[in-house]
């Protein structure tokens, strides 16, 4: 089953809707679709440049963040109760959709 991911820009004006396969990491899906997440440490929970806000969809079906992830989120700019590290969010078959908002304060160096 494919998972419908809606990426929302930090200012809320742009949306990108994509489909992702179960078993993929949210960070990989975001990067494959041009979202401004650097993911500098490639999932080692050492950078927080993959910080996103999960604002809708089946967020309550995701396993909660580990203590390590919570600690790293404490340092992320603009973190709130919706915050997750996209490198730690694994898309599973029981998730049908997720709404993912880019945080403010992320510098997109790609354009
Ligand atoms: Fe560095 Fe997620 S890629 S914490």
> pLDDT, tens digit, for every residue of 42-81?
999 999 999 999 999 999 999 999 999 999 999 898 999 9
pTM above 0.85, yes or no: yes
Closest C-alpha among 57, 56, 87, 54 to residue 72 = 87
Phi, psi of 72 (to 5 degrees): -70, -35
DSSP 5: E
Rounded CA separation 84/59 (Å) = 10
Q: Which of 36, 87, 106 to mutate to test the pocket of ligand 1 (most atoms within 8 A of CB)?
A: 87
Report the distance separating Cα 105 and Cα 110, nearest Å.
15
Compute the distance between CA of residue 63 and CA of residue 90 in angstroms, rounded to an integer.
9
Is the minimum distance from the CB of 26 to ligand 1 under 6 angstroms?
no
Banded model confidence at residue 109, pLDDT cuts 50, 70, 90: very low
Does an H or E element contain 27, and which?
helix 26-32
Whether the CB of 47 sits within 6 Å of ligand 1: yes
């Amino acid at each position: 089953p494919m998972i419908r991911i809606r990426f929302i820009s930090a200012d809320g004006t742009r949306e990108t809707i994509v489909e992702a396969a179960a078993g993929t990491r949210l960070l990989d899906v975001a990067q494959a679709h041009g979202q401004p997440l650097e993911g500098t440490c490639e999932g080692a929970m050492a950078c927080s440049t993959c910080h996103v806000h999960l604002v809708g969809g089946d967020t309550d079906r995701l396993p909660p963040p580990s203590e390590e992830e919570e600690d790293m989120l404490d340092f992320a700019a603009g973190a709130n109760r919706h915050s997750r590290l996209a490198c730690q969010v694994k898309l599973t078959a029981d998730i049908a959709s997720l709404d993912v908002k880019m945080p403010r304060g992320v510098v997109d160096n790609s354009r």
